[in-house]
Structure 1
Amino acid sequence: MASSLPFLAAMSAPSFAQEAEEGAENVENIIVTGTRMSNRSAADSPVPVDVITGEEFRSNSSSDVQDMLRTNVPSFDVNTQPISDAATIVRPANMRGLSPDNVLVLVNGKRRHRGSIISFLGGGISDGAQGVDISAIPSLALKQVEVLRDGASSQYGSDAIAGVLNFLLRDNDEGFEFRANYGSTYEGDGDNYTISANAGFSLGDKGFVNVTGEIRDVEGTVRSVVRDDVAGMVDAGYITQSDFSTINTYTNEVPQYWGQPDVEDDYKVFINSGYELSDKAELYLFGNYGKRTVTGGFFYRNPVTEGSQRGGVYRGPTVDPLTGLEDEDGVHSILVGDLDGVGVGGSCIDGIPIGGEGNVTPDPTLLAQVAADDNCFSFIETIPEGFVPRFGGDNEDMAFTVGVRGDLDIGTGLGYDVSAQRGSNRTDFFIKNTINASLGPDTPRDFVPGGQEQTETLVNLNFVYGVDVGLVSDLNVAFGAEYRKEEFDLFAGDEASYALGPLASQGFSSSSNGFGGFPSSTSASQDSTAFYVDLEADVTDELTLQAAVRREDFSEFGDTTDFKIAGIYHVSDDFRLRGAYSTGFHAPTAGQANITNVTTQNVNGVLVDQGTLPLSSAAGQLAADFIESQGNGRPDLGPEEAVNFSFGFSVDVADTSWTVDFYNIELENRVALGANVDFLDALNFAGGGTDYATVSEALTELDASGIIDRSDYIGLDDLSEFRFFSNSFDTTTRGVDIVGNYSFDLWEGNSRLTLAANYNETTVDDVGTLNPIDDDRVSAIEDLLPNLRGNISWTHTQGQLRTLVRANYYGSWDDTGNGVADIDPAILIDVEAVYSYTENLDLVVGVNNLFDEYPEENPDAGSLGQLYSESSPFGFNGGMWYVQARYTY
C-alpha cells in the first residue's frame, strides 16, 4: 500500500468522497436488499430497510465494523469478550436480541461465509452460535450498509430471521482516499491505531477495480480488581504485588487481568471489480484476505486459598494437619502426586496441609518433605504463586466471488446473474502460561490446542423477468436456484495439549488447563439445494405487493418450504402503511452438529470442565438413550422454525420523515446447547444400572462386556459431564423500531437531526423437555440486553467545519449470572469535529463516551476479579478519544 502512494499521487482524480457527500441528500436511496426490482427506493419498500452511507458508518472512535453497527443500528448488540474462550477471537453479535446465526450477512448481495468460531461462552444469548465474522470487513471498503429489519428466509435462505445486513462495497473507478486514526481511553490504556487506504482504477472505459487495505492494532485494557483471595494472600505475606507480573505475564497491576483483549497484526484487503463484456453482460469479481491475532486472559489459578480456582492443579483432599494423609475431618490441602504410581515403590502423602494466618500458608515441614522426595510432586514446588493462562488465536479469513450478470434480449428482457463463490475462516489457537497438570513436572507451559476452519462454497443462478399483466408496473418475476456446501474442520493440537498423563488418576486434570487441545483432526460437511420464486409489482399507483416462496433441502436435516407476503400502501404522498408476514428457518451448521470441545467455566467460584460432544457420536447417542429412558422422548437436531409478522407506517411532514415498525417473531425448536448430562449416570444406565465408581472404570468395564467400543470414547476418561446441540426451547420476540430525521438551516449552515430507537423484548415460551435450557440462560435471553436502545444525532456543516453530537441511550438490564440486577439506564455522549483544512485534507478530533460513563460495578468483583459485567451493552472501557487525518483526491 505504501509503495503505491507515489504512483497514485501522480494520478489526477476528483475528490469522489466529497462529491458523494454533497449529492447524498439529493439522490433517492435505491436499495438492493429485500427486493429484486432494479429501481426500488427505501421509502417505497414493503419492509423496512435502513441505508447507512459509508461516511455516516465511519463516524466512530472504533475501527471495528461491529462496534460501528452497534452505534448506527439500535437493535444490533455486540459486547467486548474478555474471558470467553474462542468467543474472544470472533465476537458474537445479536440483532433484535436473537442469536448471531439468526441474522443473514451479505456482501454485495451475496451470502457471506460463517466464522470458524462456535461461541460456547456466548453470555447466554449466543451460547453455541456460529455467526459470521463481520470484523473481517474494513469499514473504508464500504459504499453503504443496508439493514433489512424483517424476516427474509424465503428470499435468501437460512438465517434471515432477525434481519439481513448487506455490506455494499465501493465501486468508484477513480480517486484515492487515505486515513490514519489514533485513539486511546481516558485511563491511558487501550491505545489503538488504524491506517487504511482506498483507490479506484478504471479498466479502459469498460470496467473498474476498487481496492481497500487496512492495518490495525488495538492494545488491551485492564479493568480488574485484586480478588479477595489474593488480597488475603498478600496480607498473609504469601505473595507480594511484585509477584503479579510473574503470575500473569501481562500486567503488574493485578494478578488476574480482565478487560479488552489485544488485537495485533490485523491486516485486511478487499477488492471489488466489474468489466463490461458487452452491452448486455458484465463480469464481476470481489473478494478479500485478512488475518489477525487476538489474545485475552483467563481466571487466576490460586495455589492455596480454599474455594478458589484450584481444581485439578493445586486442590487436594482434606487431610490430617500433622500427617498430610486424607482425613474427611481435616484441613484443606495442596494436591501431591506419586510419580511412580500409587502402590508402586515409595509412597507420598495425600496433600500438603494449609494453615497459618489467613489460611494460606502450606505446612513448611511437609512441603519440604515433598520437595526432598523425587518420587513426590506438587505444583506448589514449581509454580508457587499460581498462574493465569493467556489464551488467543490467529484468525485468517478469505473469500472470492466471481459472476456474470446482464440481460438476455428476450421480449422485455430476461435479466440473469450467475455466480460462484468460496470463502473460509480459520482460527489456530494458542494458550500460554498454563500446564497439563496430569503430566506433572514434565508439563510444558505453552501449548497449541489445535484449530478450526469453516469453508463454504456457493453457486447461484438468478433470473428476473418483467411481465406486463395490466398493472401499473410490470410484474417482476424473479426465480433461481442455489447450491451451498459447508465444511467444518477441526485440527488436532500438540500431543501435550490433550494428553491424559500419568497423574490423571490421582486427581490432576488432563489437557492444557483452561482450553484443552483437540485429540484428533476431524472433518464434517453438509450441503443444501434451494429453489425460489419472488414476485413483486406496483398493483396500483398506491399499492405495491410482494410474495416469495423458497424450498430448501439439506443433506443432513431434510427440507423446508418458506414463504413471504408483504405490501405497502400509499395513503397519500406523505403517508404510507406497510406490513409483512413470513416464515423462516435456521439450519444447524456442520460445526454445531459435529464439534467436540472441552471448555473451563467458572461455576460458583469453582472451575469446571464442560464437554461438548456431537449428538451423533457414541457418547451423544448413549446420552440420548439415557434421556429417552426418562420418558420425555429422544433428542434430535434439525432446523429452527420462525414466523415473522410486522406492520408499520412512514410519514413525511415538512422537513421531517418518520418510520415506525412493529414486529413479532415466534421462533420454535431453537438450536441450543442444553443442560449438562452426567457422563457417569449415562454409563451406569448403559451398564444396566451398574454403579461404577468412575468414568474410566465404566468405560473399561462396558468395553470388556461388549456394550461399547472404547475406541469411540478416546480422551473422555476425565470428563464428568457434557452437553450437545439439539432442538430445545421456544421464544417470542416483540418490538418496535422508530427512525426519524429533520433537516434545517442554522447559523448560516445546514443541520440534520436523526433519531433511531428500538424497543425489543424476548420471552422464553418453553425451555424444552428433552434437553432443556437452565434458569440462568432463560434469564440471560430475557434480560441480559436492554429492552430499550436508541440514539439521537445532530450533524452540522458550516463552511469548513462539520460537527457531530450523538446521545446514545441504553435502557436498564440484568446480569443475574454475576449477581447484578436492575442495572440503571445510561446515556453516553459522542462528539466529533471535522475541519476541512484543504479541499483534499480533513482533520478529525472526536470523543466517544465524553463523560466517561461506566456500567455498575459487580457486587462480586472481589470474588471474580471482574470490575464490570462483560455483558455491558456499551462496554467497560470508559471514555475514548481519537484523532484522524483523511486525505482524498
Structure 2
Amino acid sequence: MNQSKKRWLATCSAPSLLAISIAAATSPVIAEDALLEEVITIGTRVEGRSATDSSAPIDIVTGDQFVNQGDGDLNNLLRNVVPSYNVNAKPIADAASIVRPANLRGLPPDSTLVLVNGKRRHRAAVISFLGSGVSDGAQGPDISAIPAIALKQVEVLRDGAAAQYGSDAIAGVINFQLKDAAEGGAVEVKHATTAEGDGDQSTIAANFGLPLTDSGFVNVSMEYRQQDSTSRSVQRDDAAQLIEDGNTYVANPAQVWGQPEVNDDTKFFINSAIELSDSAELYAFGNYASRATDGGFYFRNPESRPGVYAIEGDPLIGDLDASNGIYDCIGMSHAEAQSSDECFSYTEMFPGGFTPRFGGELEDYSAVFGVRGEIGDGIGYDISASTGHNEVDFIIYNTVNATLGPDSPTKFNPGGYVQNETNFNIDLTKSTELSGMPLHMAAGFEWREEEFEVKIGDTASWVVGDLAEQGFLIGSNGFSGFGPEVVGTFDRDNIGLYTDFELELTDNLRLGSAVRWEDFSDFGDTSNYKFSAHYTINELIALRSTLSTGFRAPTPGQSNITNVTTAYTNGELANRGTIPPTNPIAMVKGGAQLQPEESRSFTIGTILSAGDWDITLDYFQIAVTDRITQSANQELTDEERDQLVADGISGADSLEYFRFYTNDFDTKTRGVDLVATYPLGDATDFNLAMNWTETEITDYSPETMDEMRIRQLEEGLPEVRGNASITHSAETWRGLIRLNYYGSYWEAHLDDYSLPIDAGDEWTVDIEAAYDFNESMTLIAGAENVFNNYPDKNPWSGVAGAQYPETAPMGFNGALYYMRAQYEF
C-alpha cells in the first residue's frame, strides 16, 4: 500500500472529529429564482447570512454586472467591478501572456483561493516566470476559462480564510456561483473594437436551463470568442538605426507591444442537481475550455544578438565543414559568409533580424460530483469528489535553434505543462443550542492530490547541434525546449481536517472560530486558526472583526520546474534560467526545500445604515512570512554553467543568470476598503467602491532579493483603486455610467532597474445603454474608457518599442467600443 493511501485510511479511522456536525443547513435542493443577491455562501457555513451580516468583508457581484461590459476576458470584467482586484496586460511575458496573473489585495494570484459553487478550482499549468515582480513565479488558477454568461453571482471574500478552506486563501477567496435555473435562457452576440480600429473581439454566448425530471435542473452555458491583436508600438532605436544604415529587411515596427491574438476561445459549463429524496440531492457540474494564444517576443538584432549573429562583439560565422577544423570562417563578415559554401551566417535566413512569435494551446476541464442533504438529528452533510485538468502546449516560431545552422527549422513545439488535481471532501453541519444560545457547528475532511507534469519538446527545440562548440546558442531561441533530462511528473498529496463554530451570544453579538490541520507529503503538517466577531450596536451601526493565521503550500511545479527564457537584464537581452531550489547550484546560492508561506491577518470594520445609505468600511492587515518567490538574478560562473549543461538543461550554455524558488522574505500588506450604495430614485442607484492597499517588505536576504524586486513588490501596483457608478432603469431602456480611478505606480520597464517608470494616476469613464424592443430582444451599446485615455508615455520607448508602460493597471489599448444583442427566452 502506498504512503498516501495509508495516510488517507488513517485519517478516515478518526471518527471523533468528523462526527462533529457543522454550522449550517446545506444548500437548498433546487435553488430558488427568488434567492436574494445579498445572500452569501462563503466566509460562513451558516445558511442565509447576508454580506452585511458577515464578520468579514465580502463583495457580491451579480452575473449581470459581468455581462454588461465590453471585454470578453473574465479577469478584466472582475477588475472593472472589484477595486482590490488587479490584472494588467502581458504583451511579452512568456507563458504569463497565456494565463495572465491577477492580484487580490496586493498579493500574488496563488494567494487567492478560487471556488466554483463552493468547491476548490484547480490551478493552471502555467507558471508566471515574468510576473512584473508581484506575480513572479506564481501559479494560480485560470479564471478566464469561465464564461461570464454562466455566472449567477460572484462572492469576493476579502479576508484570510485558510483555517476555513485550506491552502492559498491568504489574500481571500473568490467563489463563482453558476446559474441554476431549470428553464429559460439567453443568447448573446457581441462585437467590440478599439478606437484605433484593432483588437476586435467577437463573442457569441448562450445559456439555457432544462428540467431534470420533476425535481432537478440542468443549466448549460457556452461561449465562443475571437480576439485580434493590438499594437501600441514605436520603432526601436536599434531597428531604426539599421534601417537608416540601409538594411531594408527590418520590419517596422521590429517588435510589437500589444495584447496577443486569441483564437477559438471556447468555453462550456454545465451545472445540475436532482432530488434523491425529501432530504437529499445529487449534484454535478463541470467545464471544458480551450483556446490558442499568439503573442510577441523580443527583436533579435542582426548585428549584435549574441549566440546567433555575434560573439563577443564580432560577427558569429559558423563553419559547416568540421572535418578540416572549425576556424576557417573566423574573421569573416556576414556578407562574406553568405558567398561561401563552407561558412554560414544567420543573415542568410533572417537578413533583417527576427522577432520570435510565442504562444500556446490551452485545454482546461473539470468535473465535480456530490451528494448533500440531511440525516437524523438535523445533521447536514455534503460529500463530493472532483477532478481538474489544465494543460498548455507551447509553440514558438519565426526563430531558430542556432546550433543547427541552415538545417534549423523556424517553428518549434518546445513542450508543455500539465496540472492535474483530485479532491475528495466530506463536510458535516448541525445547528443546536448552548445554554439557550444558538450554536452552529462544522467539521470536515479533505484529501487532495496535485500533479505537475513537464512534457518533452520536439527534438529540434532542445537538441545540441554541430555549431554548439562554435558559440551558437542551443535550443529554440527565446524559449528553449524541454529536453529528456528535465521532463517528468511531480506530485504531492495532503489531507486536512477542520472544525468551525459560530455562537450567537445575544441577538446583537455573534462569535466565530475555526481550526484547520493539514498534512502534506512533501513538507509536513501545518495548523491554522481563525476568530471572528460581529456586533450590532443599533439599527444604524454594526462592527465586525476577524483574526486569523494562514498558509500557502508551494506547488509541485514551483518545487521542481526548470525553464530557460529571454529577458532584459542590465539593459541587455539575456537568457535567464529557473532551476529547482534543491539543485546543487541553487543550494550554493541559498536554495533549499520549499516550505509553506505563513500569514497572520486581521480585519476590523463597520457597517453603517444611515437613511438610504448603506456603507461598509474595513481595515485589513496581512503579514506574510517566508514568502515563496523567485530569487533575484544570480550570476553564473563558467563552472556552474558547464555543470547545468552536463545536467542536460537545454539552453544552459547561453545562461548568464538564473533564479530559483525560495522562502526568502517577509511582507506586511495593509489597506482600507470602502463600499457605499445609495438609491437616487425608484429606478436609479449610486454605487461607490474604493480600495487602498500598501505593501512593505519587512525582512529579506540581500543575497537573493535586490532593490528592483523590492520596489516592484512595494510600488508595482497602484495603492489606490476605485470606481463610482450610476445605473438607471426605465420601462424599455436602461443606462450605466462608471468612473474608474487608478492610482500611480512604479515600473521597472522590461524588468530592468536601469529603466524606471514613475507613472501617474489615471481616470477612465465607461458607459452603456440598452433598449428593450420587447420582452425578449434587447440591443446594447457601450464603451469602456470612452474618452480614449492612455497611461503616461514610456520614457524608454526606444529601447524595445513599447509606447506605454506594460504594467499599466488600466491597460494600454485605449477605448473599447462595443455592441451587443441579447435574446431571452
- Band the TM-score falls in, shorter-chain normalisation: over 0.9
After superposition, the C-alpha distances for 1:307-363 in whole angstroms (9 at most, x for unaligned) are xxx12111233xxxxxxxxxxxxxx432111223496277112352xxxxxxxxx6x
- Alignment partner of 1:379 is 2:346: yes
1:644 aligns with 2:609: no
2:19 alignment partner in structure 1: none
Q: CA deviation at 1:456?
A: 0.1
Counterpart of 2:275, as a letter, is E
Matched, 1:615 2:581: yes
Equivalent pairs: percent with the same residue? 47
Q: Which whole-Å deviations, capped at 9, do the CAs of 1:551-581 have from their partners, x for residues lacking one?
A: 0111001110000000110000221000000
CA gap of 1:303–1:537, structure 2 versus 1, over 3 A, is: same
Aligned pairs for 1:5-84 (under 5 A) are: 27=36, 29-84=38-93
Aligned to 1:207: 216
Structure 2 partner of 1:816: 748
Residue aligning to 2:419: 454
Q: 1:494 aligns with which of 446, 451, 458?
A: 458
Q: Distance in 1 between matches of 2:644 and 2:115?
A: 47
513 and 421 in structure 1: CA distance in 2 versus 1, 3 angstrom threshold? same
2:424 and 2:447 in contact (8 A); partners too: yes
Map residues 267-666 of structure 1 onto 2, 5 A cutoff. Answer: 267-304=266-303, 306=304, 310-317=305-312, 332-341=313-322, 344=325, 347-352=328-333, 367-368=335-336, 370-410=337-377, 413-473=378-438, 475-520=439-484, 521-616=487-582, 620-624=583-587, 626-627=588-589, 635-666=592-623
What is the Cα deviation at residue 227 of structure 1? 1.0
The 8 Å contact of residues 505 and 511 in structure 2, kept in 1 or not, is answered as: yes
Q: How does 1:677-826 map to 2 (within 5 A)?
A: 677-680=634-637, 683=640, 695-696=641-642, 710=646, 716-745=652-681, 750-768=683-701, 772-817=704-749, 819-826=755-762
Instruction: Please say if residues 623 and 682 of structure 1, whose CA atoms lie closer than 8 Å, have aligned partners that are also in contact.
Output: no
CA–CA distance in structure 1, aligned partners of residues 631 and 697 of structure 2: 14
Q: Which amino acid aligns with 2:396?
A: I
Is the contact made by 1:214 and 1:268 (CA closer than 8 Å) also made in structure 2?
Answer: yes
Q: Distance in 2 between matches of 1:78 and 1:550?
A: 31
3-state SS of 1:299 partner: coil
**What amino acid maps onto 2:339 in structure 1?**
A
Q: Amino acid of the residue matched to residue 543 of structure 2?
A: L
Q: Per the alignment, do residues 740 and 48 of structure 1 end up closer, same or farther by CA in structure 2, a change over 3 Å counting? A: same
Shift in CA distance, 715/260, structure 1 to aligned 2, threshold 3 Å: closer
Q: How do 1:834-849 residues align onto structure 2 when only pairs under 5 Å count?
A: 834-849=770-785
Aligned to 1:94: 103
Q: Displacement, 1:471?
A: 4.1
Q: Which amino acid aligns with 2:410?
A: R
Distance 1:387 1:28 in 2: 53
User: What whole-Å deviation, never above 9, does each CA across 1:271-309 have from its counterpart, x for those lacking one?
Assistant: 0000100011100000000100011000111102x5xxx
Asked whether the equivalents of residues 316 and 351 of structure 1 are also in contact (C-alpha less than 8 Å), the reply is no
TM-score by length of 1: 0.86
SS of residue paired to 1:728: strand
Moved over 3 A (4+): 676-679, 710-721, 816-822
CA distance in 2, matches of 1:809, 1:623: 42
What is the letter of the counterpart of residue 432 of structure 1? Y
In 1, the alpha carbon distance for the partners of 2:391 and 2:596 equals 25
Secondary structure of 1:468's counterpart equals: strand
What is the deviation of 1:470? Answer: 2.7
CA shift in 2, pair 1:379/1:59, >3 Å = same
Q: Could you tell me which residue of structure 1 aligns to residue 141 of structure 2? A: 132
Deviation at 1:656, TM superposition (A): 1.1
3-state DSSP of counterpart to 1:178: strand
**CA distances 1:376-396 after superposition (whole Å, capped 9, x unpaired):** 111122221111101000000
Superposed, 1:145-224 pairs within 5 Å as 145-224=154-233
Segments of structure 1 that go 5 or more residues without pairing to the other structure are 1-18, 245-252, 318-331, 353-361, 629-633, 684-694, 701-709
Secondary structure of 1:732's counterpart equals strand
Per-residue deviation at 1:503? 1.2
Distance in 2 (CA, whole Å) between partners of 1:719 and 1:176 is 55
Alignment partners' CA distance in 1, 2:433 and 2:268: 44
CA contact (8 A) 1:311 1:607 kept: no
The 8 Å contact of residues 673 and 773 in structure 1, kept in 2 or not, is answered as no
1:691-740 CA-partner distances (Å, limit 9, x unpaired): xxxx43x689xxxxxxxxx5676764444432211211111001000000
Check 1:109–1:375 CA distance in 2 against 1; reply closer, same or farther (3 A cut).
Answer: same
Distance 1:610 1:797 in 2: 54
Change (3 A) 1:102 1:500: same
In 2: Cα distance, 1:878 partner to 1:699 partner: 44
Compute the displacement of 1:676 (Å): 3.3
Match of 2:11 in 1: none
CA contact (8 A) 1:116 1:426 kept: yes
Q: CA deviation at 1:825?
A: 1.1
Q: After superposing the two structures, state which structure 1 stretch, 373-382 or 433-442, moved more.
A: 373-382
The amino acid of 2:464's aligned partner reads L
Give the TM-score normalised by structure 2.
Answer: 0.93
Q: CA deviation at 1:236?
A: 2.0
- Describe the SS at the equivalent of 1:724: strand
Paired residues of 1:218 and 1:264 also in contact (CA < 8 A): yes
Q: Size of the alignment, in residue pairs?
A: 788
Amino acid at match of 2:131: G
* CA deviation string 1:560-606 (max 9, x = no partner): 00000001100002210000000000000011011111111122342
Alignment match, 1:669 = 626
The answer on 1:254 being equivalent to 2:253 is yes
Q: CA separation in 1, counterparts of 2:808 and 2:644?
A: 43
Larger RCO (CA under 8 A, 6+ residues apart) = 2
**C-alpha RMSD of matched pairs (Å):** 1.8
CA distance in 2, matches of 1:562, 1:681: 45
Structure with larger Rg: 1
- Post-superposition Cα deviations, 1:385-427, rounded to whole Å, max 9, x if no partner, equal 11110100000000000000000022xx000000000001000
Residue in structure 2 matched with residue 3 of structure 1 by the alignment: none
Find the aligned partners of 2:283 and 2:128 in 1 and give their Cα distance.
Answer: 34
**Residues 180, 712 of structure 1: alpha-carbon distance in 2 compared, 3 angstrom cutoff:** closer
Q: Distance in 2 between matches of 1:699 and 1:478?
A: 51
Give the secondary-structure state (helix, strand or coil) at the position aligned to 2:589: helix
Structure 1 CA distance for aligned equivalents of residues 709 and 153 of structure 2: 36
Residue identity matched to 1:541: D
Relative to structure 1, the CA distance from residue 205 to residue 507 in structure 2 (aligned partners, 3 Å threshold; closer, same or farther) is: same
Residue in 2 that maps onto 1:355: none
Q: SS of the residue aligned with 2:683?
A: strand
Give 1:682 shift.
6.6
Counterparts of 2:536 and 2:644, CA distance in 1? 69
Aligned partners of 1:758 and 1:790 also within 8 Å:
yes
